[in-house]
Amino acid sequence: MSQRFYEHLAAELDAIEEQGLTKSEQQITSPQSGTVSLGDRSVVNLCANNYLGLADHPEILAASRAALDEYGFGMASVRFICGTQDQHKELEASISEFVGFDDTILYPSCFDANGGLFETLLGPEDAVISDALNHASIIDGVRLCKAKRYRYANNDMGELEERLKEADAAGARFKLITTDGVFSMDGFIARLDEICDLAEKYDALVHFDDCHATGFLGANGKGTHEYRGCMDRVDITTGTLGKALGGASGGYTSARPEIVNLLRQRSRPYLFSNSVAPPVVAGSLKALELARRGDVREKLWDNTAYFRGKLEEAGFDILPGEHPIIPIMLYDAKKAADFAAGARAAGIYVTAFSFPVVPKGQARIRTQMSSALSRDEIDRAVDVFKSVSG
């Protein structure tokens, strides 16, 4: 045992605390919903990814309970040994139909889906070109592969074209552009149609992670590719069942069969992780059914427009856009932490985001709208924000 090592860790933690960057965890004592319980207090929840309000939907709960009786608690195995049930295949087919791809492979999480994507498809003679604000799971997935790495400024098509030219000049065999569909800290939507234009010009593949879009973005909730009108022009999407689609766990990759089949053979997070639990699979199937109905999407967009308008009217500095992710910019980490603490004490559950989750000097309160929220709860949140902002 090295005492110096533990002293080093203690100093690191002290430094994080002194900079106001400590990320505390609140213990929720209720189901995830528009309001949650923090101990004996009920608070309005503005920081969950529960966009469609499905995390505690009674039809999803009923489907999950029924699956628990029929299929059991867990699979205790990976897919290729004895971890594939008929409902796993049904869910993969349902996701494929919903997002508009030929085939789908399930993972324990989208982090795993991204972690197992790039190293399976790309070798040292290839190139991956990544948006600078991509999610950590994409960044880590790219690090695992041996392809040459290029990065372009967020949503900057000029820089993306330059990186594609550089990859060609370096003799790249295959080029893969990777981006978030929606950038989770800002709510900005990728210019996916323009990315496809450049991909076609330079013979590149396109991958996008649609965790913050699947189920509600686009006319039918299919995601960023529907919103941008390029559903038949993208090659690969990764996504999650842990946000709008019930909020439990599980992720997926959807693509042409050649890609999905190779992932089944060589993608390490798929080959060496337990299958998604049966109750989660059944609940996710029901969540997709509910997302197809459209009424929960309509309420989400109504709530989003109303909340954005109220925050602007109150004079808050919010990032522009239309997505349900609505960041209130405070810039200073300590100020953001104090704002969040004051709001929670007044009955509004929000979280401060600071470095390293966002760049230094860009601290914020990332609020997220949900179909589960009422207008009265939204109005109450705005009033509390005004009071704690001084």
Catalytic residue among 109, 184, 275, 370: 184
Q: Which two tokens stand for residue 86?
A: 């008929």
Token pair belonging to 201: 């010009």
DSSP at 190: P
- Catalytic annotation, pick one of 207, 212, 225, 299: 212
Active site residue 243: yes
* Residue 212 among the catalytic residues: yes
* 8 Å CB contact between 180 and 152: no
Report CA-CA distances (Å) from 26 to 225, 351, 355.
Answer: 35, 10, 19
Choosing from 57, 243, 286, 323, the catalytic residue is 243
The stretches of the chain forming alpha helices (DSSP H) are 3-18, 58-71, 79-82, 86-99, 110-115, 118-121, 136-144, 157-169, 192-201, 224-227, 257-266, 268-271, 278-293, 295-313, 333-345, 375-388
C-alpha 156/C-alpha 97 separation (Å) is 31
CA angle 151, 157, 159 (to 5 degrees): 45
CA distance 192 to 213: 13
Question: Which one, of 74, 335, 114, 308, lies nearest residue 211 by Cα?
Answer: 114
Task: At 151, list the tokens.
Answer: 């990065």
Measured at the CA of 215, the angle between CA 214 and CA 217, to 5 degrees, comes to: 70
Separation between Cα atoms, residue 332 and residue 364, nearest integer Å: 8
* Residues catalogued as catalytic: 184, 212, 243
